[in-house]
Structure 1
């Protein structure tokens, strides 16, 4: 796709500095567009996209540590802390020190956070309908993106 148009052109040789040929830019544009498509769905829930992601992890795993939550979302602690503070202020999560290890902070949904789960259940289907993607397309795309993420993480580790 170039400038919003699907093309059958062969990409130029490696080293192209054309913006539309950059993998990173295609990913960036797709991420921004997907987040924008989520926005009206999440506005109905009173959530931002990062807050939604935190709740997805908590709904899936139950009570978890901030460290585990950050790892699941691939975020650093400095990003997690204000995000959790806002969710706690909204009455959706609670944070407390672990009785077993006072260095660990546990995070869990409140009753209000659990209630939101039912309303949020329609979000994934609504996004698929809005983007007109089928289940097989989504599965293939998700698998390719996870493979790319793993390869990029490995490349980043090698360059350190």
Structure 2
């Protein structure tokens, strides 16, 4: 398993801030549109820190992060063929650890902002260490299978030990 606590395994990949537009009359705002993070990502692990100077202290929800996969086809009836594969909730004032399913070697990220937030700031970090360095999350599967095999062997040894104890206890003195 990768160690996520090593600071040198996290690369700051992007930071951005967005502000809602004040409508004429100064009473209402136009919500912040969905934002597409520039570039693409390989690691299935990202961390996103979300802050807002306009959020009330008791507000927690910070919107969604979406994993976007290039579907490789074009359709004249839609502007974007990047399919949304997975969607994760984001929370204000904390590091949000996101694990994306390894559906594609590379993917993009988009961010949806709640309509009530007038400003928002993001810091996005990509995990580059351990078994995920190549972007191949399937490397963890053999480790899980080995742990399962070892657990099954331990359970079998415990069952044999219980049977031996039962035989000893059931023997007449």
TM-score, length-scaled by structure 1: 0.24
Q: Which has the larger radius of gyration?
A: 2
TM-score, length-scaled by structure 2: 0.23
Choose between structure 1 and 2: higher strand proportion. 2
Choose between structure 1 and 2: higher helix proportion. 1
Larger RCO: Structure 1 or Structure 2 (Cα < 8 Å, ≥ 6 residues apart)? Answer: 2
